[in-house]
Amino acid sequence: AQSVTQLGSHVSVSEGALVLLRCNYSSSVPPYLFWYVQYPNQGLQLLLKYTTGATLVKGINGFEAEFKKSETSFHLTKPSAHMSDAAEYFCAVSDTGGSEKLVFGKGTKLTVNP
Amino acid sequence: DGGITQSPKYLFRKEGQNVTLSCEQNLNHDAMYWYRQDPGQGLRLIYYSQIVNDFQKGDIAEGYSVSREKKESFPLTVTSAQKNPTAFYLCASKRELGFGYTFGSGTRLTVV
- From first to last of its 114 residues, chain A has per-residue pLDDT tens of 788 999 999 999 999 999 999 999 988 777 889 999 999 889 999 999 998 888 899 999 999 999 999 999 999 999 999 999 999 999 999 866 556 788 899 999 999 999
User: How many CA atoms, within 13 angstroms, populate the side-chain half-sphere of residue A20?
Assistant: 5
Instruction: Flag if B106 and A106 touch (Cβ within 8 Å).
Output: no
- Nearest CB among B31, B40, B100 relative to A9 is that of B40
Taking only the tens place, the pLDDT of each residue in A83-104 is: 999 999 999 998 665 567 888 9
Distances (CA, A) of B34 to B88, B99, B101: 11, 17, 11
d(CA B78, CA A8): 32
CB B76 within 8 A of CB B21: yes
Give the strand pairing for A73-78 and A64-68: antiparallel
- Nearest CB among A96, A98, A101 relative to B45 is that of A101
- Nearest CB among A43, A49, A99 relative to B50 is that of A99
Cα Rg for chain B, rounded, in angstroms?
A: 13
CB A57 within 8 A of CB A50: yes
Residue B39: which residues within 8 A CB-CB, separation 6 or more? none
Query: Which parts of chain A are beta strand (E)?
Result: 3-7, 10-14, 19-26, 32-38, 44-50, 56-58, 64-68, 73-78, 87-94, 102-104, 108-113
Cα B31 off chain centre by: 12
Instruction: Flag if B33 and A101 touch (Cβ within 8 Å).
Output: yes
Residue A70 sits at φ, ψ, to 5 deg, of -65, -30
Taking only the tens place, the pLDDT of each residue in B2-33 is: 799 999 999 998 888 999 999 999 999 999 99
Q: Tell whether omega for the bond before B8 is within 30 degrees of 0, i.e. cis.
A: yes
pLDDT at A82: 96
Would the pLDDT of B54 be above 90? yes
Which residues in chain B are contacts of A9 at CB distance < 8 A? Answer: 40
Q: CA angle, corner A57, sides to A56 and A61, nearest 5?
A: 130
Cα B106 off chain centre by: 9
